[in-house]
Structure 1
Amino acid sequence: MTNTIADAIRLLIEADSSIKVKSIIAKVQSRFNYTVSYYKTWLEKQKLVAKIFDDWKVFYQTLPVWLKAMTAKISRTE
């Protein structure tokens, strides 16, 4: 799968992570005039969903540190 198609799939998944594989295939086919196999599309979707939500996991792990820093900053300015 080319990076261009993978990027297009990533945008679709970021907009709606519950998008069906067949819908992704149809959108790729309409945009690039190329039919991606169901398996390759499914596999790419799994990888991207894991990556997208892993990014969120890291964000939520660092969130308490940011909140603590903001609370300390606000306390000093009052």
Structure 2
Amino acid sequence: MTNTHHAKLDSDTIADVIRPLVEADLSIKVKSIIAKVQSRFNYIVSYRKVWLAKQKSAAKIFSDWKIFYHTPPV
């Protein structure tokens, strides 16, 4: 049986974990991410928490890209 409460697995933590998935495919479905998180942590996360995590991952990816793009070469 999977655990339904995990104090440390918030949307920020999930965002860091799923970042490679989002980088590889920005259109990845939330349900697919839920399955990956459940498989990895043996924990069922809510759709809302994963949706937020996906948005945070995308924001970090694009923020890093903007910083890289606007940084002059050394």
The CA deviation string for residues 8-32 of structure 1, in whole angstroms up to 9 with x for no partner, is 2223212322211110001111111
Structure 2's unaligned 5+ residue stretches are 1-9
Matched letter for residue 70 of structure 2: Q
Matched letter for residue 48 of structure 2: Y
Superposed counterparts of 1:39-54, under 5 Å? 39-54=48-63
Other-structure match for 2:22:
13
Cα distance change, pair 47–6 in 1 and its aligned pair in 2 (3 A) = closer
Alpha carbons 2:22, 2:28 under 8 Å: kept: yes
Tell me the C-alpha RMSD between the 2 structures: 1.8
Higher radius of gyration, 1 or 2 = 1
Which of the residues 47, 50, 68 maps onto 1:38?
47
Give distance in 2, aligned partners of 1:22 and 1:45: 11
Q: Which structure shows the bigger proportion of residues in helix conformation?
A: 1
Moved >6 Å (runs of 4+):
none
Give distance in 1, aligned partners of 2:37 and 2:66: 29
Aligned-pair CA distance for 1:56 = 0.3
Q: Which structure carries more relative contact order (alpha carbon 8 Å, separation 6+)?
A: 2
